Structures are given as C-alpha cells and as structure tokens.
C-alpha cells in the first residue's frame, strides 16, 4: 500500500497544473482524510489482540461500525458545508489556487474512513488466525485496482485531484471487500465464547482509547505540518513536493509499520521474543541503508525527477529533504517492536505518551521554522518529523523495559 502515494504523485505530476493538484492532495486532502480516520486505524491491533471468539468479534464489530459512522458524519460536515472554508482553509492557510481542487478531492474521499475501518478490523482477524499472507494479497489487489483507475484517469486527462482521490477510493473499496470475503471462514470457525467475558465498557475503553489517541495525535501533525509549510518560504513548491517525499518515506516505512501487529500475534510463542527483537534491529538497519543509498547517489534524481516527474528545482528540494528524513523509516521499525510489546502487555497508555512527545517535538521544530522564516517549509517539516520520531521511539524503549525484562530480553 505504501506504493500508492508515489504512484499517484508520478501521474499527477504529468497532468495539467501539477503543482496545484499535488499541493491540494498532499497538502490538504490526504492529511485531513488521515486525521478523520485516525481513531479507527488501531482497529487492526484491537481485533488482533481481542477477537478471540465469536462474542468478542461481534462486540468489536459493533463498535467499529458505530465509530466509523460518526467519523463519516464528521467528514461530510468538513467536505460539504462552509466548515471547509471556515476551518480547513483558514487553519491551513491554503493558497488560493489550491482551495477548490482540495474541496473537490475531500468530497470524493467520503467513503475512505468506513472502508479503512472494515478492512483493518478484518485484517486483524486474518493476522490472529495465521492468515497474514491474505493481508498481502489484499494489498496487492488494492494496488492493481488503483493502478487501473489511475491509468484510466491519465488517459482521459482528468484533473489531477480527481485522478488521485478516485484511485484511492477504488483501492480502499477493493481492499475492504477482499478482507471481508476472506475472513468469513475464520469467523465461522470461531468458538462461540462467553458474552460475559468480552472486554467491553470501561475495560475496553482503557485498552482502546490510548490506541486510538496514538494515531490521532500523530496525524494531527500532518495538517499542522501543512499549515506551517504554508507560512514558510516557498509554500507552493514545498506543498507540491510534500506528497512525493512523504510518499517515499511511507513506502519505506511500510514493513516497519506492519511489524507491531506481527509482534502482538507472535510474542506469546516459545522462543519468539529474541527472534522478533533481532528482526526489528535488522529491519531498522536495512531501511536506513536504503534511504542513505538514495540520498548519497544519483538514484534520488532518478526517483524524484525521472520517475516522479518533478521539475528540477523541486527535485533538488526533495533530494535535500531525504537527508533530513534519514532516521524516519528505521526508527519506525524499532517503534513498532516496542509498541507490539506494550500492546501485548495491555499497557497502551505508553503509546499515547510517546505520540504526545512526538507531537511536542515536531510542533516545536515547525514553530521555530515559521519564526525563523528563512528555510523552505519542506525541509523544516522533515527535520521536525525525524526529531519527533526519534524522541517517540526513545520513550517507547523506556516504557517497554519492564515487559521486555519479564520476557527475558
């Protein structure tokens, strides 16, 4: 799935008014859509950890649909009412040429949150049931559906924001349909369970709210970053380059991002903890090496200028940003290892604490960049994200120590 944003950026960069539509998607639509869906992102971890029987599955499913419905209502209010101008445009200081494409894009993205909720809930069951390969199959099918959509949009010469958002919606719809279909045999095989033993009410909220707050706080930084970039030098150039650079880092972080659920699912197995820890460090080193290879060789110019289709000045800006984002992908792998450990121990409050630290550090760097007013916003944003991620990972290392000691690590 991490390949989706680079694919979209490469196509939009070759359509009419590329900077405006890249800025609309990467600087407004995608950050706001991520922020709206943030409370349901951790349904994957919740269903992996808690959906042990049919009673627990049904309870979690009801919760998932209720929260997805509420978030979809929020999306409607932001995309289809004057709240778009009153809140989003003013808060992000959206450049005038970007406003209408961004509004249209956010409207097309309406099915996003509910689709993500269903897919991640069902993927948690697939992982818990030992069918994690089907999660990869679903991701591949999503990419194929998206590739077909983006190709059609390109051939028709549709506006870049329409191509980008329509591709995303076709992809996520395909993903949730596939996951919902493949999870059926696992659901049919679940033990009935005891409804009285289901984790619900205050006990469930104590478990889930810290999980939900974690991505919410983290993703708040996305629109904060866009707002800060708009107030620093070269705002349109930075906003246009932002989805291309962040898409590359999201692609590289994909393996590390998914590792948390792997840890939750496997940590109880005999001999698993040392193996899981060793793999996390190997993955961290490998991801840092890939970013370093891109930044230190002509591969960066080929990726940003040749494959992504950025103009030379934007390619240069993106290349500089690579160096500032060097720790991002590697730190994500380690963070997922520590996060999986604390979710296993049901000490989810530690996750909320870590993302609050991420928000504080990242926002501080962005504020300094706005106050200084000399450095392009893209570079300040990557520096802030890197500093925040390192601080977040360090805190998770500290808070996971008791559980790791109990596991003999």
| 249 and 299 both lie in a single domain | yes
The runs of H, that is alpha helices, within 157-298 are 160-182, 184-188, 201-230, 235-266, 272-296
Tens-place pLDDT, residues 267-296 = 888 888 999 999 999 999 999 999 999 999
- For residue 358, is pLDDT > 80? yes
* Nearest Cα to Cα of residue 229 among 25, 357, 367, 364: 367
Residues near 395 by beta carbon (within 8 Å), at least 6 away in sequence: 350, 353, 354, 357
Distances (CA, A) of 326 to 28, 192, 292, 345: 25, 48, 7, 31
pTM, 2 dp: 0.72
| 152 and 13 both lie in a single domain | yes
| 240 and 153 both lie in a single domain | no
Domain boundary among 199, 219, 243: 199
| 6 and 73 both lie in a single domain | yes
Structural domain of 395:
200-409
Angle between helices 377-399 and 312-324 (to 10 degrees): 20
Tens-place pLDDT, residues 170-221 = 999 999 999 999 999 999 998 887 776 676 767 777 777 777 777 777 677 7
Domain boundary among 172, 199, 226: 199
Q: Which long-range contacts (CB under 8 A, 24 or more apart) does 313-318 make?
A: 313/237, 314/19, 314/237, 314/240, 314/241, 314/244, 317/234, 317/237, 317/238, 317/241, 317/376, 317/378, 317/379, 318/241, 318/244, 318/245, 318/378
What is the total count of domains within the chain? 2
Domain boundary among 199, 222, 244: 199
| 56 and 186 both lie in a single domain | yes
Tens-place pLDDT, residues 49-63 = 788 888 888 988 998
Output the pLDDT for position 199: 66
| 5 and 121 both lie in a single domain | yes
**Greater confidence, 21 or 132?**
21
- For residue 2, is pLDDT > 70? no
| 208 and 194 both lie in a single domain | no
What's the token pair of residue 58?
Answer: 């049904």
| 84 and 211 both lie in a single domain | no
| 39 and 179 both lie in a single domain | yes
């Amino acid at each position: 799935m991490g390949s989706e944003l680079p694919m979209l950026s490469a196509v939009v960069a070759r359509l009419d008014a590329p900077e405006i539509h890249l800025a609309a998607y990467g600087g407004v639509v995608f950050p706001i859509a991520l922020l709206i869906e943030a409370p349901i992102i951790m349904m994957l971890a919740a269903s992996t950890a808690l959906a042990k029987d049919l009673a627990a599955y049904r309870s979690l499913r009801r919760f998932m649909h209720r929260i997805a419905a509420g978030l979809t209502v929020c999306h409607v209010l932001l995309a289809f009412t004057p709240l778009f101008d009153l809140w989003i445009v003013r808060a992000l200081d959206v450049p005038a040429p970007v406003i209408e494409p961004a509004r249209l894009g956010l409207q097309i993205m309406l099915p996003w949150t509910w689709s993500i909720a269903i897919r991640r809930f069902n993927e948690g069951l697939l992982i818990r049931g030992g069918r994690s390969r089907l999660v990869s199959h679903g991701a591949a099918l999503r990419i194929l559906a998206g590739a077909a959509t983006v190709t059609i949009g390109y051939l028709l010469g549709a506006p870049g924001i329409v191509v980008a958002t329509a591709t995303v919606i076709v992809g996520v719809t395909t993903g949730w349909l596939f996951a919902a279909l493949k999870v059926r045999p696992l659901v049919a095989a679940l033990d009935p369970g005891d409804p009285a033993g289901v984790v619900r009410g205050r006990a469930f909220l104590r478990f889930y709210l810290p999980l939900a707050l974690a991505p919410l706080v983290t993703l708040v930084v996305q629109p904060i970053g866009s707002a800060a970039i708009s107030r620093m030098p070269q705002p349109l150039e930075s906003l246009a380059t932002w989805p291309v650079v962040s898409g590359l880092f999201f692609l590289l972080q994909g393996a590390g991002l998914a590792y948390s659920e792997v840890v939750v699912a496997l940590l109880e197995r005999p001999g698993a903890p040392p193996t899981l820890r060793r793999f996390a460090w190997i993955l961290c080193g490998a991801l840092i090496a890939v970013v370093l290879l891109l930044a230190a060789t002509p591969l960066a110019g080929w990726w940003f200028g040749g494959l992504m289709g950025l103009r030379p000045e934007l390619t240069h800006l993106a290349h500089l940003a690579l160096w500032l984002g060097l720790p991002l992908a590697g730190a994500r792998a380690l963070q997922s290892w520590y996060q999986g450990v604390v979710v296993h121990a049901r000490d989810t409050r530690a996750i909320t604490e870590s993302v609050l630290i991420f928000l504080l550090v990242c926002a501080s760097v962005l504020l300094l960049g706005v106050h200084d007013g000399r450095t392009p916003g893209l570079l300040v944003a990557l520096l802030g994200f890197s500093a925040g991620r390192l601080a977040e990972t360090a805190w998770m290392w500290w808070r996971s120590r008791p559980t790791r000691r109990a596991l003999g690590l």
